[in-house]
Structure 1
Amino acid sequence: MSLGSPKNCLEFFKTIGRLKHIKRTGWVRSDVNDPETISGHMYRMAMMSFLLDEEDNVNRDRVMRISLVHDMAESIVGDLTPHCGVSNEEKHEREVAAMEHFSKLVGEKAGNEMFNLFLEYEEQKTNEAIFVKDLDKFDMILQAFEYETDQKRLGSLEEFFKTTEGAFSHPKVKRWVEELYKQRAESLNASTAESDK
């Protein structure tokens, strides 16, 4: 089989297609109804990157690409969290092996680009990688708030907010986080007032 052959491309498409069905582990563990998939999470992060402009001092296209690649290996290794009993080193090794597999399937040009974007995110040495990490954490707490609100379980996903407290670095994302916290506080206050009646 030659690299990037139609057969290899179909294998690649089918493998990453699993991301449309793999539920995010944190939500499953928290007994959320109908938890989001990995691809849903990555898609919204990529869409968030459309809101970047020159003043944000990051390359919007690169942020979008990293967002679409950063969890791709989970189509093979699954969504491993600290609760899964796998060390960070082992998780990284498994994900690197998955990305190397993809590189062999799709050919040198696309494969190297995806692999290097993945490593850039993992190493957190560029402004774009750091920004995508902010998006990753922000999308998680936004999703937590949506579950709390939509499933009438306000305050029940506090652990997700606690793990990201003070963890955001980019001014734009910090403003989004502030607004989210404001809306969540308003919801919690309204719920408390309603239950006190």
Structure 2
Amino acid sequence: MMKVNKSEQGSITDITEYFYKLKETPRTGWKQKLEIRNTESVASHTLLMIVLVFLYSEKYGFSCKKKVKLIEMALIHDLAESITGDITPETMNNKRKNKLENEAFGKITDKIYTKGLKKRYLELWHEYQTKKSFESKCVHLLDKLEMVLQANYYLRNREELTRENVEPFFQSGRSYSSHRPNSRLPKTSKKNIQDTEDLEDIKEILEYFSN
């Protein structure tokens, strides 16, 4: 029978502890702006993002390598919130938010005893933050798309909510649209035409559900 050494046992519990915290961390915007009780957790949001990754991987015929990378990036994109909580734009500027999240992510990865996995997490985190690769842009778009889908879900299933209540979330979604002159994503390179077309398609879908 294979034995698990103590350092490995400790590392497993140390790193999963942060993911467990995401299950108990509410998505702040729903509570602050809509005053929803029993709002979704950050982990719930992450789960639905992975569902979207599977759906679009099938639609666009992504390779297994690309699909796995998107799943990995989606899994860790909000991991720092297990320490910082879900910070909304109204409470803090981006520079301060990024600083806190980078520090938090560093603390989390310090708990990983496997050097290869630690390096992988840090690379994915940096790539996601810079918004330059196809995968990072795709995850940012799916992040917004999931939020907009959740807003639509609340609008349909919470009788006390009106379109006006959830409009700020739709506005946020539209800010990533390809038709906006000040889109919050950098322009996509024309180097890989297929990647460009796939991202533009997701932007179209995001705008559709935001209107």
* Common fold by TM > 0.5: yes
In the alignment, structure 2 segments of 5+ residues that lack a partner are 179-198
Residue 113 in 1 paired to residue 124 in 2?
no
**Structure 2 match to 1:189:** none
Task: Please name the residue that 1:150 is paired with.
Answer: 157
1:18 pairs, out of 6, 18, 21, with: 21
Kept in 2, the 8 Å contact 1:69–1:118? The answer is yes
- Where do 5+ consecutive residues of structure 1 fail to align? 183-197
Query: What corresponds to 2:106 in structure 1?
Result: 100
Q: 1:62 aligns to what? A: 69
C-alpha displacement of 1:22 = 0.6
Amino acid at match of 1:146: Y
Residue matched to 1:44: 48
TM-score, normalising length: structure 1: 0.81
Counterpart of 2:12 in structure 1 is: 9
SS in 2 for 1:106: coil
- Which residue identity is paired with 1:125? K
Cα deviation 1:14-63 (Å, max 9, x = unaligned)? 22211001100100102123211001101110111112148467822211
- Matching residue's letter, 1:89: K
TM-score normalized by the length of structure 2? 0.76
Q: Percent identity?
A: 26
Task: Establish whether residue 131 from structure 1 lines up as the match of residue 150 from structure 2.
Answer: no
Distance 1:28 1:166, change over 3 A: closer
When residues 83 and 4 of structure 1 are mapped into structure 2, their CA distance, relative to the original with a 3 A threshold, is: farther
| Number of equivalenced pairs | 180
Structure 2 Cα separation of the partners of residues 56 and 130 of structure 1: 17
1:34 aligns with 2:38: yes
Which stretches of structure 1, 4 residues or more, deviate above 6 A after TM superposition? none
Q: Tell me the equivalent position of 1:164.
A: 173
- CA 1:171–1:4 in 2, change beyond 3 Å: closer, same or farther? farther
In the other structure, the counterpart of 1:194 is none
Q: How much has 1:5 moved relative to structure 2?
A: 3.1
Alignment match, 1:180: 209
Comparing 32-41 and 158-167, the one that deviates more: 158-167
Deviation at 1:138, TM superposition (A): 0.6
CA RMSD in angstroms, aligned pairs only:
2.3
Tell me, in whole angstroms, the C-alpha distance in 2 between the residues paired with 1:4 and 1:103. 15
